[in-house]
Structure 1
Amino acid sequence: MVRGVRGRWTWCGALLLAGILAGGVSGCGPGTPSAPGSPSSVSAPTPTTEPGTPAADPQPGEVLVEVVVNGGLAGVRNQLVVHYDGSWTSRSGTKPPRTGKQTPAEAAELRAALEDPAFALVPERPTGSPIPDGFQYYVTYRHRLVVADDHERPPALERVFAALPEGGPPTNP
């Protein structure tokens, strides 16, 4: 009897550990963005709505989208964080961060591009061969991470990129 209970608890513990590891560990190799909430990343509060549905009332300063760009000839690692109110911060290497604010119309266009059902269908990982010395783009919206590269940028992702501040993802060193 004790052996059966112990086996069952061991099995439950293994399932719990697998669930934690599957949901709680992010990519941590070179070329992957930091996990949300880590010191080098800005994280959004836990959403209260399902992915793909608009947030009822975003809180002041709540992150709308985070874009991290890696790669290129210069080996950049840049980050752009845009808040629901249109304010944004861009970090490139060791340079001081740049900040700004989109107009209400620009912020609405970015939100519309992110909430477009076509964006929800963008594959989470590129399927083709990467371009040598190309960029990789990590787009986090409502805790969903989409990774793209210069080889594969679906139209829905291009629409998001076009609506970003400063003309798109930060690729300058």
Structure 2
Amino acid sequence: MSTVDLAAATRSSAAPSLSPAEVEAWVRGVVDGQPLDRVQAEALGASLHQEPVRARMAEGARAIKVAQTGNRVTVSRNIFIPLTNLCRNRCNYCTFAKQPDSAEAHTYTLDEVEEAVRGGVTTGCVEALMCLGDKPEVAYKSYREELALRGLQTTTDLILDACKITC
């Protein structure tokens, strides 16, 4: 399939049919540092449902990763700060989010965040991972009131204040 044919195919609703040689040449080119053009990228993306295309692209991605960083796996010491486990959503699969009337519902104070950060610094942590629900202030009046008592309007304001903590 020529580049012109690929361009036409990517504009149509049907995914282009790529030959193994085309996929190989394009992926090898990327591994060797040659970027794909838009038509090639769209054609490969539209062909990801085909196992051979997906497998070759994964092999290419692995080759690039190994070339850049080797087989090394790095680990970063971090602390986990569940800033609030309230969430406006009620996803069936989620075990993190709680309702405001739950005994497990909790929103960290800035003092609790600082205590967690100090503990992390003491143990050599270099990152703080904040986890929280999605905009609980939209769903819960009690949470909006709690934020207001802290001089805040949104969970984003709480995150910004927590990020200012240094030890």
- TM-score range (shorter-chain normalised) is under 0.3
TM-score normalised per structure 2:
0.25
Q: Report the structure, 1 or 2, having the larger helix content.
A: 2
